[in-house]
Amino acid sequence: MATPVDEDDDETEGSTEEPPPLADPTKCTDTRATFDTGTAPQNLEVSGRDGGSLPAVNGKLTVEWDPVPGSACYDIWWGAELRDSSKMLQGRKYWKLGAHVYVQTVYYPPADHPSGQKLSINLTQVVANTKYDVKVRAANATTASPWTEIVVGQTGNAIGKPEITFMRIESSSSIYVDWTYASGAHAFELQYRKKDTNSWSSRLSCPTQEDYAAFFFENVWDEATDDEKDQLRTTYQSIFGTNFDGPVAFEAVRDSRTVTGLDANSIYEFQVRGVADNDTCSDTSDNTYGAWSDIAEAVTIPASWITAVTASLDANDAPQLTVTWPAVTDADSYKVEYQDLFFRDTGSWFTHPGTATTNSVTIDDVECGLQYWVRVRAEFGDLHTPWSDAGDATTETETNGCDDS
């Protein structure tokens, strides 16, 4: 378990918080114990260390050390504290993605130890412009050496460029935006504007209380006693739900956002960039920013997104439905679906053949005296709106001259 701390503790770099006692047995199956278990690895070096030989680099933290003769595995302990007393959880510390405490096991067969050369590993899920505590020990499946003293390294300033990969039109005032992770980012800033305007609005996408709590759980749950697990369940059922019973799946860097408060039936442009912070996500005074993504566009639906349906007879007295809907700005085409009373309960819909490029169609594949529901969605290449509210109408009966033979 992590060592409890009081909220007014003065947190400093160089945490001595201990990781699990043995190497990861799934990654270190070698049981030989021919190495000196009483001596820690020597000459630990981390990129970006003050006065060190390895310069700070972007997107990774390089760790080097002298091999321990006879050892097959090494545990690398690394992390950086999120120094914010408001981010305390039951007296234990929060950690941010990429700056979270990890114990990573790597396997180096003794035969692969180059004489006179250091072993090394690149730690990747790291935050830009951030200091990390690192220590190493030799290990096998049953025992381990002492840890080295902590060496503090630092990552470079550059943050990768994200890419907007998916958008979903949710309503007349909201659009969901999803993007790829950018190396070195701890959070993301999303900006948007109505097309052909100059002013951008901006929103920071930060990890939430749930994200941090889930991160915390992933690292303390396996080491918790039964009594501690009972306490954790009680404390966090309000966050994760009444069925919570242990670690949950999560992603602590928020790489999606639903933007609300938009104007109806309008085209919007979106860009996103990575953010690395040195304290808290919401405090932007010391943030480092990456490059903006390429602009992506999406459109909101009309404020009244409902299909109007009118029943009539054609020149041959056959039944037909005339369908109209509000035109959507910049739509490439529209998809039209309909169902009758028999399929209403099953949720099945028929697709009107052809491609509608205007905001009306006539459906003639219908029968006399039946009620029909029709819905429409606008399409923009791979992007589409939600379905409209369905309109309905009942076709003419045979007694009124309808002939569907």
Q: Of 90, 123, 154, which residue is a domain's last?
A: 154
Both 312 and 285 in one domain: the answer is no
Q: Is residue 104 part of a domain?
A: yes
Q: Is residue 375 part of a domain?
A: yes
Q: What is the pLDDT along the chain (405 residues), one digit of tens a residue?
A: 222 222 233 333 333 344 344 555 566 666 555 677 888 999 999 988 888 888 887 778 899 999 888 787 888 887 764 433 333 233 333 333 333 456 677 777 666 666 678 888 888 767 777 788 888 988 877 778 888 998 888 888 778 889 999 999 999 999 999 998 787 777 789 999 999 999 999 988 776 655 555 555 555 565 566 776 676 666 656 555 555 555 443 344 567 889 999 999 999 999 999 887 655 566 666 677 889 999 999 999 999 999 999 999 999 999 999 999 999 999 999 999 999 988 888 889 999 988 899 999 999 999 999 999 999 999 998 889 999 999 999 999 999 899 988
Contact in structure between 362 and 338 (CB atoms under 8 Å): no
Q: Is residue 10 part of a domain?
A: no
Identity (one letter) of the amino acid at 125? Q
Q: Is residue 98 part of a domain?
A: yes
Both 137 and 169 in one domain: the answer is no
Q: How far is CA 277 from the centre of its chain?
A: 18
Number of domains in the chain: 3
| Residue 149 belongs to domain with CATH number | 2.60.40.10
Cβ contacts of 91-94, under 8 Å, gap ≥ 24: 91/4, 91/5, 91/6, 91/7, 92/1, 92/2, 92/3, 92/4, 92/5, 92/216, 92/220, 93/2, 93/5, 93/11, 93/17, 94/212, 94/215, 94/216
Both 279 and 173 in one domain: the answer is yes
Distance CA 337, CA 152 (A): 62
Domain boundaries, position 110: 45-154
Q: Does the predicted model carry a pTM greater than 0.75?
A: no
Contact in structure between 400 and 315 (CB atoms under 8 Å): no
Both 333 and 377 in one domain: the answer is yes
* Alpha helix segments (H runs only) across 185-320: 209-220, 226-240
Ramachandran angles phi, psi of 35, nearest 5°: -85, 165
- Point out which residues pair with 45 in neighbouring strands: 64
Q: Is residue 74 part of a domain?
A: yes
Both 109 and 179 in one domain: the answer is no
Contact in structure between 386 and 298 (CB atoms under 8 Å): no
Both 240 and 340 in one domain: the answer is no
Q: Of 107, 125, 154, which residue is a domain's last?
A: 154
Q: Of 264, 299, 334, which residue is a domain's last?
A: 299
